Amino acid sequence: MRKCALFVAFAVVLAAQHEDKSEKKSKNPAIGNPEAIAAGQKLFFASCAGCHGPTGDGGRGPNLRERGAWHPMDDDTMFTIVKKGVPGADMPALNRADNEIWQIVAFVRSLTAPAIEAKVPGDVEAGKQIFWSKGGCSGCHMIAGKGGFPGPDLTNIGGLRSVNEIRTSVLDPSERGVFESQPVRITFRTGGTLEGVCVDRTNYAMQVIDKAGKIHRVDMGGVEAVVFSKTSLMPGDYKTRLSRDELRDLLAYLSRQSVRPPAN
Ligand code: HEC
Ligand code: HEC
């Protein structure tokens, strides 16, 4: 039940962001433009990060990535807030040229827009090779019906997550905190154990996918103990195992995975 409710909320946010996006895209060329986003990031570090955090997660100022779901902020509103500040609050006006403010808005936007809507630099074909061979990703993840378990299916990852979220998932899987498929270890009354990821759960039963991809429906009546892991099953050492270029290419490939066609 809970899962379904979350899903609906998420779908509404996505729909709202999407509408917002397509309407704004034509208005300002900085939005979605990699050079403008990079320039905006520098300006953001210099003028905003002190209060909003380097990744917009908030501090003295509010979180810019996870705002109230029901009020997506459009680009013009953000532009005005940054240019004029918030009178009476601790948010200063920024004395910069309009095009620089647009670069900042483009950067903040890039933190939340689904990856498929961003122009992500990198070699998609090279990234594909890493996913299916060197990185070993396909041993645990499926794309378009091929690949393995127990990681989530990544067929629509670019349509669901921002570039930043995908990057964090790959580089710091345990940092993400929210595991859609939570690693779990179950001990049965009969003595046996089962390790895998929990993909669904009620008070009476749990569905667990093991390493081999087999789905187990576990009746809670027969369970002695359930231990959820706080660390992801996903390896945490890709930062060192893959080069910078390889990571960039992998991110480019993942960002293109969407059930909707790219917007640009
Ligand atoms: C001195 C601290 C500080 C600095 C520097 C700062 N902000 Fe803020 N910002 C705040 C505070 C506090 C608020 C909340 C204002 C309010 O109460 O409405 C805010 C609000 C905002 C909002 C509206 C958020 C929302 O959800 O309504 C945006 C967007 C924003 N800031 C962007 C920026 C950007 C971009 C920069 C850099 C150019 C920046 N801020 C610099 C403190 C700061
Ligand atoms: C040993 C299995 C395993 C391997 C290998 C693995 N992953 Fe994962 N991955 C998982 C599991 C399990 C999750 C879900 C739990 C979590 O959120 O950490 C996950 C989560 C993710 C997510 C987040 C999915 C979402 O819904 O947001 C992404 C993206 C991802 N992996 C990409 C990769 C890439 C790219 C590689 C290869 C470089 C890789 N994974 C290798 C098991 C694996």
Q: Which ligand 2 atom sits nearest the alpha carbon of residue 233? A: 12
Q: Which residues contact 3 (CB under 8 A, 6 or more apart)?
A: 200
First to last CA, the chain: 36
Nearest ligand, measured from the Cα of 41: 1
**Quick one: which of 144, 137, 203, 215 has its CA closest to 173?**
137
**CA 259, chain centre distance (Å):** 16
**Quick one: which of 154, 224, 147 has its CA closest to 193?**
224
C-alpha 149 to ligand 2 mean position (Å): 10
Q: Determine if ligand 1 sits within 6 Å of the CB of residue 61.
A: yes
Q: What is the pLDDT along the chain (264 residues), one digit of tens a residue?
A: 344 334 444 444 444 444 444 444 447 889 878 889 889 999 999 999 999 988 888 889 988 887 654 566 889 999 999 999 998 888 999 999 999 999 999 999 888 888 888 778 899 999 999 999 999 999 999 999 999 988 889 999 999 888 888 988 899 887 755 556 678 899 999 999 999 888 888 888 999 988 788 899 999 999 999 988 877 788 889 999 999 999 999 999 999 999 876 655
Q: Determine if ligand 1 sits within 6 Å of the CB of residue 87.
A: no
Residue 195 near residue 185, CB atoms below 8 Å = yes
Q: Which ligand 2 atom sits nearest the alpha carbon of residue 161? A: 27
Nearest ligand, measured from the Cα of 62: 1
Q: How far apart are CA 126 and CA 18, in angstroms?
A: 29
Q: How far apart are CA 188 and CA 108, in angstroms?
A: 48
